[in-house]
Amino acid sequence: MFLDFTSKNDLNPIATGVITPDNFLESLALDRSSLLSTDAWRSFIFIGLTFGILMLYLRNSLKSQYVILIVGLLVVCDMWNVNKRYLNDDNFVRKNKVKIPYKPTQADNFILNDKDPNFRVFNSSVSTFNDASTSYFHKSIGGYHGAKLKRYQELIEFHISKGNMNVLNMLNTKYFISRDGKPQLNSTALGNAWFINNINLVMNADEEIDALKDFDPINTAIVDNRFSNYIIPNLDNSSSTIKLDIYKPNYLKYSSESTNDGIAIFSEIYYNQGWDVYIDGVKTDYFRANYVLRALNIPKGNHSIEFKFKPAVYSISENISLASSLILFILLFFISYKEYYRK
């Protein structure tokens, strides 16, 4: 059936028990090809029905009230089936389970007593990088995401999984939960942001990740040579301060105070495909340091630094959606207007 979005190849390898490295990719390609073909035919049918209804209206064979009703039903039918891909009966659970999906452990309760909410937790009592339960209560070093950044995965494999404390400190890991569930305070966590006094310039990303094995993150930043134009010589920020004022998933605000121009390191993952930075409201550039973190040149004095996440693709999609809604509204208004004056 073309409305259920099920490909005839979906369960084929599983049902037959013949999943092998040789046929997996072939089966996956067949599955996606079948799904694309099904969607294309489905879209063609909906477009054809809508076109036919509008033609009947233009020939005065169908009243505007019925046109609006039928097109509305087609839109609802289309959206209903698409939405069922992402929200179906399996997504609905009991109300009490939604309210309390996870029960806090003694370690969770201990950490939650910390009045500073902006730090990270490394939980060894669960499968650290495949379990998301820690993130329900804390900002976690681990967790799971189907689209994890490759750069962060490499940091996990080369350093975090090997217990590199310099790396864990620069990620602001303030608490550890041991395998037996006991919380441990890490007093050497570096916080949300800090000024550095030295730059270790390396030739490429391989040298950058390798240099994380032995460095002093509170004073030194490791920077790829591609960002050498951002380097400030003769750094001296021993008396400079920077603190996090506002933390939201798509917005971060810091305040800094320094007597010299300097470079600040932010304990946030570098991602320039959506995150923009502003100093006192003026957009500027930032660069990568320590393989995964953000670095920024900050002039002397008191300043407000804001990171905002709004990728270009979001703005484009938002504008397309708005334009489509306006076109539909104008079309319906035109039909209603024409029908009214025809009477």
pLDDT at position 4 = 45
What stretch of H or E contains 279? Answer: strand 275-279
For residue 222, give the nearest of 211, 214, 233 by alpha carbon: 211
CB 129 within 8 A of CB 152: no
For residue 311, give the nearest of 274, 340, 283, 339 by alpha carbon: 274
| Whether pLDDT at 7 is above 60 | no
- Percent of the chain at pLDDT exceeding 70: 88
- Percent of the chain at pLDDT exceeding 90: 52
Arithmetic mean of pLDDT, 122-148: 90
- pLDDT (tens digit per residue) in 275-293: 999 999 999 999 999 999 9
pLDDT at position 3 = 42
| 60-74 exposure pattern, b = at least 16 Cβ within 10 A, e = fewer | eebebeebbebbeeb
- pLDDT (tens digit per residue) in 182-199: 999 999 999 999 999 999
Round the average pLDDT of the chain to a whole number and report it.
86
Dihedral of CA 256/262/268/269: which sign? positive
Name the residue with higher pLDDT: 271 or 325: 271
pTM exceeds 0.75 for this model:
no
Q: From CA 295, how far away is CA 285, in angstroms rounded?
A: 9
- pLDDT (tens digit per residue) in 46-58: 888 888 888 888 8
Q: Taking the CA atoms of the chain, what radius of gyration do you get in angstroms?
A: 28
| Whether pLDDT at 206 is above 60 | yes
What is the DSSP-derived secondary structure letter of residue 143?
A: -
Arithmetic mean of pLDDT, 79-89: 76
Name the residue with higher pLDDT: 177 or 238: 177
Q: From CA 268, how far away is CA 204, in angstroms rounded?
A: 21
Q: From CA 210, how far away is CA 185, in angstroms rounded?
A: 27
